[in-house]
């Protein structure tokens, strides 16, 4: 899989934590015992380690992880090839977004996760390898993740499914906890909300590697902004994602693949 840049830098992490905790710049500078000028300099992109280490505990961030993110000293190391998994990275406005295909290599039955901005590459990939996409599973309903849903449904003749907390025309709904079966693959659904109302993590068993498609719940060294509930995002990420075995491959909605064990050490949001 091609190397995709990290979704967030250290200033993104600081901003998300500030907004989630509703801490102003003035409050952060005072509680961290740093000057307003130093805080502004860091938020402007100067990865001053001393200042970062002072503000991290105020924002309940892991200082070492925030510093290494600031120094651009880290990138997740995952297997180059993961049997039964393909990632498709497409451009949406000023960013890129991921969608995924998993399949059983014996029966060639598969499931698609989200569509990204354009499902063409996924559809071509599946056709070339004679993979039959049995179902389309949606992590959440933000436009960049479902932009090409109707075209993917037409191409595959597969039904789409979404958590009932984000019901919309075009997808059948389900309750978190439901299990999907695709050939010999078992797909567990876990509620990881907070970034969106009904975010779902899909945990796929039956491949050589355990895989979790997490949408925007978590990124390599970051997570989706807690636009609905920052506290729910932190809690459900811990319960639904970081509780998985360390060798679980995480497939985020943006940025590169990562693993549970890696995020336990390198994600600033989970000290």
CATH number, residue 224: 3.60.15.10
Residues 122 and 62 occupy one common structural domain: no
229 and 168 within one domain: yes
- 128 in the same domain as 169: yes
In the three-class reduction of DSSP (H, G, I as helix; E, B as strand; rest coil), residue 102 is classed as strand
Among 147, 183, 148, 180, residue whose Cα is nearest residue 163: 180
- Residue 97, domain member (yes or no): yes
What are the structure tokens assigned to 2, written together? 């091609």
Which domain CATH number covers 47?
A: 1.10.260.40
Give yes or no: residues 54 and 183 share one domain: no
Q: In this structure, is residue 229 part of a structural domain? A: yes
Q: Are residues 243 and 146 in the same domain?
A: yes
Tell me: do 232 and 123 sit in the same domain.
yes
The distance of Cα 240 from the centroid of its chain, to the nearest Å, equals: 12
3-class SS shares of the chain: helix, strand, coil, % to 5: 30, 25, 45
| 80 domain residue, yes or no | no
Last residue of a domain, one of 70, 98, 117: 70
Residue 237 CA to residue 214 CA, distance in Å, equals 9
Same domain, 117 and 170: yes
- Look at residue 2 and tell me if it is in a domain: no
Place of tokens 């500030």: 18
Q: Is 75 inside a domain boundary?
A: no
| Whether 54 and 107 share a structural domain | no
Q: State how far the Cα of 160 lies from the Cα of 111, in Å rounded to an integer.
A: 10
Render the burial of 73-87: b for 16+ CB within 10 Å, e for the rest: ebbbebeeebebbbb
Cβ atoms within 10 Å of 220's Cβ, excluding its own: 27
Of the residues 40, 70, 100, which one is the last residue of a structural domain? Answer: 70
pLDDT given for residue 1 in this prediction = 61
**Which tokens in the block code for residue 242?**
């970081």
| 94 in a structural domain | yes
Query: Are 30 and 158 contained in the same domain?
Result: no
Domain that holds residue 58: 10-70
Does residue 115 contact residue 152 with C-beta atoms inside 8 Å?
yes
Give the residue carrying structure tokens 């609905």: 228
Per-residue pLDDT of the chain (271 residues; tens, 9 = 90+): 678 999 999 999 999 999 999 999 999 999 999 999 999 999 999 999 999 999 999 999 999 999 999 999 999 999 989 999 999 999 999 999 999 999 999 999 999 999 999 999 999 999 999 999 999 999 999 999 999 999 999 999 999 999 999 999 999 999 999 999 999 999 999 999 999 999 999 999 999 999 999 999 999 999 999 999 999 999 999 999 999 999 999 999 999 999 999 999 999 999 9
Would you give the DSSP letter of residue 101?
A: E
Alpha carbon distance 171, 105 (integer Å):
27
Residues 61 and 120 placed together within one structural domain of the fold:
no
Last residue of a domain, one of 21, 38, 70: 70
* DSSP per position, 175-188: -TT-EEEETTEEEE
Number of structural domains in the chain: 2
> Residue 244: beta bridge partners?
none
154, with CB counted inside 10 A (0-12, 13-18, 19+), is exposed
Residue 77 counted as domain residue: no
Please state, in angstroms and rounded to a whole number, the distance separating the CA atoms of residues 14 and 168: 33
In a domain, 271, yes or no: no
C-alpha to C-alpha distance for 183 and 139, rounded to whole angstroms? 21
| DSSP conformation class of 119 | -
- 162 with 192, same domain? yes
Q: CA–CA separation, 69 vs 82, rounded Å?
A: 26
Q: Do residues 135 and 223 both lie within one domain? A: yes
Q: Which two tokens stand for residue 110?
A: 């598969």
Give the number of other Cβ atoms within 10 Å of residue 56's Cβ: 22
Distance CA 149, CA 161 (A): 11
């Amino acid at each position: 899989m091609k190397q995709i840049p990290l979704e967030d830098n250290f200033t993104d992490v600081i901003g998300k934590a500030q907004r989630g905790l509703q801490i102003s710049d003035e409050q952060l500078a005072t509680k961290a015992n740093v000057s307003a000028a130093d805080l502004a300099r860091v938020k402007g992109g100067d990865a001053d380690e001393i200042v970062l280490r002072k503000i991290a505990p105020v924002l309940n961030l892991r200082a070492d992880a925030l510093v290494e993110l600031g120094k651009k000293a880290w990138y997740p190391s995952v297997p180059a090839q993961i049997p039964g998994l393909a990632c498709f990275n497409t451009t949406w406005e000023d960013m890129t977004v991921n969608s995924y295909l998993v399949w059983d290599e014996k029966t060639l039955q598969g499931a698609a996760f989200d569509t990204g901005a354009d499902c063409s590459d996924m559809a071509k990939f599946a056709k070339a390898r004679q993979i039959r996409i049995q179902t389309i599973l949606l992590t959440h309903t933000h436009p960049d993740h479902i932009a090409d849903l109707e075209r993917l449904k037409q191409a595959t003749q597969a039904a789409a499914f979404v958590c009932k907390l984000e019901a919309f025309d075009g997808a059948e709904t389900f309750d978190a906890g439901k299990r999907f079966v695709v050939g010999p693959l078992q797909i567990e659904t876990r509620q990881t909300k907070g970034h969106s109302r009904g975010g779902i993590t899909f945990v796929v068993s039956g491949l050589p590697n355990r895989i979790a498609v997490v949408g925007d719940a978590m990124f390599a060294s970051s997570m989706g902004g807690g636009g609905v509930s920052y506290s729910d995002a932190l809690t459900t990420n811990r319960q639904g994602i970081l509780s998985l075995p360390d060798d679980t491959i995480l497939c985020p909605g943006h940025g590169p693949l990562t693993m549970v064990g890696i995020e336990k050490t390198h994600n600033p949001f989970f000290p």
